[in-house]
Amino acid sequence: MLINELSKETGVTPHTIRYYEKFGLIKGKRKADVKSNNYFHYDDEVVYKLELIRDAKAVGFTLSEIKNLIDAWYNKKFTIAKKLAILDEKLVTIDERINQLTEMKKLLSDFKKEVVESDC
C-alpha cells in the first residue's frame, strides 16, 4: 500500500510516517518493476509496527527506546525474561512519574489555598 493508504489504515499522518522512516523505525520498499515513480510501498508488517509505536508511545516509551525495542523484538534478540524486565522497568518509571505529579498537584493545591486565605 502507498503512504496515504497506510495513513488511513493506521490513523498516523503521512508526515509522521515519513518522520518514523527517517528515524529508522519503519521502512517502505520501492517496487522493482515500477520505474515511473519513487513511491514507497508498505506492507502489513509496517502496519503492525506503527500500531506498536503508537502503543509504546502511549505508555511512555521514547522514540529512541522504541527503535531499540523494535530492532531487538523483531530480530528476537530479547528473551521473554528480558522483555518482561524492560516492561517492569517502564512500570517503575511510570510509578515514579505518578509520584512526582502527585507531589506537584499537592504543591499547586497548597499554593491555591494560600492565595485564597491571604487574598493575594
SS3 29: strand
pLDDT by 10s per residue, the chain, length 120: 999 999 999 999 999 999 999 999 999 988 777 666 778 899 999 999 999 999 999 988 999 999 988 877 777 788 889 888 988 999 999 999 999 999 999 999 999 999 999 876
Enter the DSSP assignment of 24: T
Give CA–CA dist 27/6, Å, rounded: 12
Within 8 A by CB and 6+ apart from 6, the residues are 12, 17, 42, 46, 47, 50
The pTM of the whole model exceeds 0.75: no
Q: By the 8 A CB rule, do 12 and 6 touch? A: yes
Closest CA to 20 of 38, 1, 47: 47
Give CA–CA dist 44/48, Å, rounded: 6
Q: By the 8 A CB rule, do 96 and 58 touch? A: no
